[in-house]
Amino acid sequence: MLCSKGMRLARSWFLFFLAGLFACGRAPTELRNLVESQPLDEPDSALLRLNPAARFQRARLADRIMRAVAYSPGENFKLDSSLQECKFFLGILPEYFSRYREPVTVRIITQDGASEELVWSRTIAAEDSGTWLPVELKLEKKPEALWLSSDVKDFGLWLTPAIDLAGSKTSRPSIVFILVDAMRADHLGAYGYARNTSPNIDKLAQAGTIFLHAQTASPFTVTSLSSFFSGMSPFEHKVIFNYSLVLDEKFFTLAQKLREGGYYTAGFSGTYFHLSDFGLDRGFDFFDESCERAFFSHDAECLSSRFLSWLPQNPQRPLFLYFHYTSTHAPYNPPDQYQKLFSQGLTRPEGAAGQGDAGRFGSGRKWYQLRRVPSSEELAWLVSQYDGEIRYADEQIGAVLAALKAAGIENPLLIITADHGEAFYEHGFMEHSRELHWETARIPLIISGPGVPAGQKLKSFVRSYDLAPTIIDFAGLPALAQARGFSLRPLLNGQGEAASRIGYGIIFENRSRYQIAITRYPFRLLAWEPGDKELELFNLEDDPGEKNNLAAVRPEILKELLGLAPDHRKILSSKPGADSGAKQTRERLKTLHYLK
């Protein structure tokens, strides 16, 4: 493996963000500090047969994150001389060429006795920087020694192994985790929706099991994903807006657990902010975020194409693949052919509603805002465009599933879900960032694959943080030590009952005001802090639209659920520990204007 001197552990990408601000007139950060600020990541021994003393980091080039090693200027990297083949990627940070104009040459040299021979070289100019460049070298014979050197004058050269999916076939299934941002369960055909929004997802549902009452941990994506990936409620992992936005490294992630168990882990995200900025790429061998510029327009096609260009044929190692589609996130602006699918008989409104946007967005994009109560005609149009977005994402999901089959990845475990739902003014709000009523808290959850009964619809109440324990169970690996969720495998096989489980959720309206949800199906309690709004209690069995507040007439249920509430005031007012990620959060928040 490749080795770099003087790397020190650091958990923040903050200095990496500052690199993007160089052009704004700020003093450049030293490249060594920039490099050393990247999070450390332990390599898998099967990935690369180079210097075993190397320490790997998660490095981003061209919005593709790979486990890599920074080259220390003047140092020779010892390579594995027992093989006649060497495959890897290399790349140079664009910031390097903001200081040095001369191209950089990288060389590979062999040694036999006293004889040295240059067997490969490549010169990298500024126009080639900022991306991963593939290298493949085949030698005529095994040398006594093999090493890599470069004339690079400063830190900024990264090297990473080629994707290695060799190995013996195992009984463990590949796992495909597809999340569609802000996709409502009740807008899918599999959940009874009248419009044909989801033919490919519906086929998966027919081949597998649907959970009818699944709840997210939060309508805020970073909090929600932290629960998906850790198996914990937000009050346990504490990735909460005014506390920390970074999952503490003491918690093992789903991807880390699967990678440790022999899976090759790859993620593809199309959201407009980088999930890696919040540590959510931890555990992935490869994480592609290069579609963030396609957000709001053709993002699903971008994500699928990135995956198809990466997808290896007939992999021997089991894969864990994570997809984060963002099409259904506002603004509801599907590609042209999907705009008319469900808008027959509707007239496109003037102004903000006609643009499909009911919220605010950054990056200087000139999206319109709907700052008033929408009319029934405007709501109907917005819903038609939202449904078009679901159909658009569904067709791209179909393309991915077909490609998996063609690549020889047979009978994987498939999961379809969402990070949260979406509101269309059922309770006086649009989108998902303001409150926790069922239209934003309920998520679809469909599981199909080996060992999953087909055509089954389960009414048991489940939580988003039950998914990581479920996936790990199917992979045949030891459970996540910190997980508070339960594997759903027994429920799938008709064993056990989840109705009595408690589900927690949280959403912040601003830094000091938030709403929590406590659910013990069929009852849901919604409470605001500060407590200047009335408590809301609903029976989902009788009132799935949450229109009838039972707080005044069912005091015994209200008292019971309040007794189950976590000590959220203490949790949210306590000062985080030194390793909690709060410092990272503060630094990241300072630069979010750049990330957007």
Are 135 and 236 in a shared domain?
no
More confident position, 83 or 374: 374
Burial letters 395-427, b for 16+ CB under 10 A, else e: bbbbbbbeebeeeebeebbbbbbbbbbbbbbeb
Q: Once rounded to an integer, what is the mean pLDDT over residues 420-443?
A: 89
Peptide linkage before 94 cis (omega within 30 of 0)? no
- Is 542 a member of any domain? no
Residue 358, domain extent: 175-521+566-595
- Is 538 a member of any domain? no
pLDDT of residue 498: 61
**SS3 (DSSP) at 442:** strand
Q: 276-327 pLDDT, tens per residue? A: 888 899 899 899 998 877 666 788 999 999 999 998 888 888 999 999 999 9
Give the whole-angstrom CA distance, residue 69 versus residue 295: 30
3-state helix, strand, coil in the chain (%, to 5): 30, 25, 50
- Is 549 a member of any domain? no
Are 96 and 143 in a shared domain?
yes
User: Model confidence at 582, in pLDDT bands (50, 70, 90)?
Assistant: very low
Give the Å distances, CA to CA, from 424 to 242, 269, 325. 27, 25, 20
- Is 254 a member of any domain? yes
CATH code for the domain of 60: 2.60.120
pLDDT of residue 26: 30
Point out the least confidently predicted range of 118-127, 555-564, 573-582: 573-582
pLDDT of residue 345: 87
**Residue at which a domain ends, from 127, 161, 195:** 161
pLDDT of residue 73: 83
pLDDT of residue 198: 97
Total count of domains within the chain: 2
Highest mean pLDDT among 6-20, 304-318, 468-482, 570-584 belongs to 468-482
- Is 76 a member of any domain? yes
Number of H helices, E strands in the chain: 16, 24
Are 190 and 140 in a shared domain?
no
Positions of E strands within 356-454? 413-417, 423-424, 430-431, 442-448
Is residue 358 a contact partner of residue 352, using CB atoms and an 8 Å limit?
yes
Give the Å distances, CA to CA, from 384 to 46, 184, 198, 335. 48, 13, 14, 13
Could you give the count of Cα atoms lying within 13 Å of 330 in the half-sphere of its Cβ?
A: 26
Are 242 and 111 in a shared domain?
no
Across the chain, mean pLDDT equals: 81
Nearest to 256 by CA among 7, 42, 39, 11: 42
Are 183 and 235 in a shared domain?
yes
Nearest to 439 by CA among 453, 449, 429: 429
CA angle 15, 17, 20 (to 5 degrees): 120
Are 180 and 157 in a shared domain?
no
